[in-house]
Structure 1
Amino acid sequence: MLFFAFDRLPVELILMIFQYLSGNDIFLSFLNTSFYINNILKSYNKYSLNFISSTREKFDYILSNIEFNKIISLTLSNGELTGGQFNLFLSKYSSSFYLFNNLYSLTLHCIQMKKIEYIQLIEAFKQFQNLRLLYLNQISLIDIDDCFISAFNQLNSHCLIKLNNCEQLNISSLSNKLQYWKSNCFNFYRQQWTCLRAIQLKDLSRTSLNHLLHLTPQLISLIIECEIDKNTSSPNFRLVPNLKQLIFSCQNLTFHYLIVEIGLDTLSKLKHLQIKCNASTDELIFNGDHWKIFLSQSFSYLIKFDFYFKYSYKKNLSLNTFRTQFWLEDKKWFVALCHCQYSNNLELFTVPCFNTTI
């Protein structure tokens, strides 16, 4: 190996540079550049490897040249162009699972799991006893009867779990482990979810939202992607006073609805609020001065506020109340007004969050 410019740098500086790079980039960029760098790579013990967009060749190359006890975070995928790396990991490295003794975070992405892989994964979980975070993203099961219960039971008691679109998994045993849940609907059970901090829902048709909020008193983030309409009972946000992020859509928004019906003003810890409404008849909703009073009195920690409101009446609106020092200088929240091209509706929204509407 020839002389490499980084050989002049002290180890401490190179390790600082590594903090800004992924484990994949570190290995693919620096391996075999010099003996000096190779020794640093060998001693470095904080590799975070993400193979979601890696080919099978790169996956095999990195794992063949790294000491497994130096990996703290690992992401595996069976997505496009990965060549079935999850299956390869289970079959090729099953005898070395015990060497992953410093693995703190494991993410499994876009995997259709058959029975043989499931059995191998259970054995892996038995040996990943320092695992502190398991993130399952788009996992589906084929001919697996216990719906992942046996796998969950192998995790140590300190391991938290995040789930995204994993409807086939039985989560009844995760009341003190589940931290994040994203799904088309929440298949909740009767127990309290003491560790659940974030929920993202796509469908409310089969979900009693207030029942869900009652079971998740420590919730910090709630994102409701679908619209809360007349067929859905109004949420009672008083049940989750620790919310710091709230994103929701509703019909015919009024300040009476915000305060009296859903108790939005009680969420004093909010830092991020986003509201979308496709129909409103309350003129105060379009008054920046009224919003200033409401927001200042209710949310002293609010950093980000985005909204999209549609006004169905044939009446001119002014942006003057949204051009005050409070909006432009103190908060730096910028508001735009647009006339709908094919109707008499007016659209009032924050930019850049809803600037695609322009």
Structure 2
Amino acid sequence: MSSCLLDHLPVECLYMIFEYFWAQEIFHSFLNVTQYISQVLYNYNGYLLNFKSIRKKDFDLICRSIKPCQIQSLTLSDSEDTVEQSQLFLSFFSVNQFIHLRALTLINIDRNSISAFSDINKLSCLVSIEIDSNSQISINSIASQLKRIIVNSCSDDYSNHGMLIPSIQLPRLRYLSLERCSFSRLYSILRLASNLISLHVSIICWSSKEMNNLINNDQESPFKLVYLYMTMNLQTYYQTYDWVNAGIILAPFQTSFWIDQERQWFVTFDRQSLSLFTVPRFAPTICSHLSKPILHHTTTLPRDQHGIFYDHITELIIDNTRELKAICEYACFESTLT
């Protein structure tokens, strides 16, 4: 191997460069370039492995070139295009060898690989985990050390994802994402995770009594939550939307618990789908010429901020030649003024 200009870069600079690439990209770009670079690769302990939809050639290259103690982030997938990948990978390494692993993502993991994660409690550096809602891998033994937990919903799964979160103190948890969770279970989790800052959740079962219970106990359990991304499906309680009063639905969300100087948790009620969602995170991204404007009495968002609903539009559907022509003419007119 010959020398090159990269040999003059200090190790720290190369490490900073590696942070922007997946492991397979690093090996393809830098492996066997020079002896110095190869030595740097051999000692680097921050590899990010993402085996979702990876080519078999790249998978084999990584398994041959890397040591488990060098892996900082790992994504394993047993989906249709990577069948039995976890078994193959774990045939090279055992879970307790990932001593520097900080983030673990498991996608559709095969049942035959479940037992391999029985030593997950030995991953003392692990602070982030992402699992499927039907996962049989328990996080009970490591939950207290985690800063980030994500539970993704599987197809045809209508379970309460909050039940996957153990009923123990979660002092380090900062980010939590649950695609399906009952309000009562969420309330219990919030009391256990008093340092939670960001919550992404879809409420599947709630009542005004439970809502008031959360609000009235705010002093007893001082939440540090800053970022709230929430949806609520109300179809369980309202089979028809003809008589649903938006004002009554939104009343619990207009208190200082939801809106004050620190918390700006604005909510919108969608009468068509009988659901609630926080804005702007869940604001619609598709708009058509038939779309109805957001009425002021269906949201807690101040009128002067209603432009948020249009700031997030990424797709505009116009099924009307006359309106399309008018928009084009207006756009041309505006361009002549600038």
Give, in whole Å, the separation in 1 of the partners of 2:96 and 2:294.
63
Please give the per-residue CA displacement for 1:108-156, whole angstroms capped at 9, x wherever unaligned.
Answer: 1222424xx2222113x14323322222135445xxxxxx5xx334327
- Aligned residue in 1 for 2:332: none
Give the Å deviation of 1:199: 3.6
Change (3 A) 1:50 1:110: same
Give the Å deviation of 1:45: 1.9
Give, in whole Å, the separation in 2 of the partners of 1:69 and 1:174.
31
Give, in whole Å, the separation in 2 of the partners of 1:90 and 1:187.
38
Change (3 A) 1:59 1:312: closer
Change (3 A) 1:43 1:90: closer
Give, in whole Å, the separation in 1 of the partners of 2:126 and 2:185.
26
Which runs of no fewer than 5 residues in structure 1 stay unpaired? 142-147, 233-250, 280-301, 314-321, 328-332, 336-348
Give, in whole Å, the separation in 1 of the partners of 2:122 and 2:38.
29
Q: Assess if the C-alpha contact under 8 Å between 2:140 and 2:165 holds in 1.
A: no
Secondary structure, counterpart of 2:139 in structure 1:
helix
Q: How does the TM-score come out when normalised to structure 2?
A: 0.63
The counterpart of 1:102, out of the listed 100, 103, 108, is 100
Secondary structure, counterpart of 2:131 in structure 1:
strand
Give, in whole Å, the separation in 1 of the partners of 2:51 and 2:129.
16
Change (3 A) 1:65 1:271: farther
Q: What pairs with 1:1-358 in structure 2 (closer than 5 Å)?
A: 1-94=1-94, 97-114=95-112, 117-123=113-119, 125-141=120-136, 148=137, 151-155=138-142, 157-160=144-147, 161-165=149-153, 167=159, 170-171=163-164, 173-177=166-170, 179-186=175-182, 188-189=184-185, 192-193=188-189, 194-195=192-193, 197-201=198-202, 204=204, 206-208=205-207, 211=210, 214=214, 218=223, 219-225=225-231, 227-228=233-234, 231=237, 253=246, 258=250, 260-263=251-254, 266=257, 267-268=259-260, 269-270=262-263, 273=266, 275=268, 277-278=270-271, 310=292, 334=307, 349-353=309-313, 355-356=315-316
Q: Assess if the C-alpha contact under 8 Å between 1:110 and 1:137 holds in 2.
A: yes
Please give the per-residue CA displacement for 1:232-281, whole angstroms capped at 9, x wherever unaligned.
Answer: 6xxxxxxxxxxxxxxxxxx7656x865x44226642234675636357xx
Please give the per-residue CA displacement for 1:47-104, whole angstroms capped at 9, x wherever unaligned.
Answer: 222211213432232132112222222111112322422122333322xx33321112
Please give the per-residue CA displacement for 1:282-314, whole angstroms capped at 9, x wherever unaligned.
Answer: xxxxxxxxxxxxxxxxxxxx998957883599x
Which runs of no fewer than 5 residues in structure 2 stay unpaired? 239-243, 273-278, 296-302, 319-338
Q: Which moved more, 1:72-81 or 1:191-200?
A: 191-200
Output the amino acid matched with 1:129: S
Q: Assess if the C-alpha contact under 8 Å between 1:109 and 1:139 holds in 2.
A: no
Q: What's the % identity of the aligned pairs?
A: 25
Q: Assess if the C-alpha contact under 8 Å between 1:272 and 1:305 holds in 2.
A: no
Structure ranking higher in strand proportion: 1
What is the total number of aligned residue pairs between the two structures?
273
Output the amino acid matched with 2:127: R
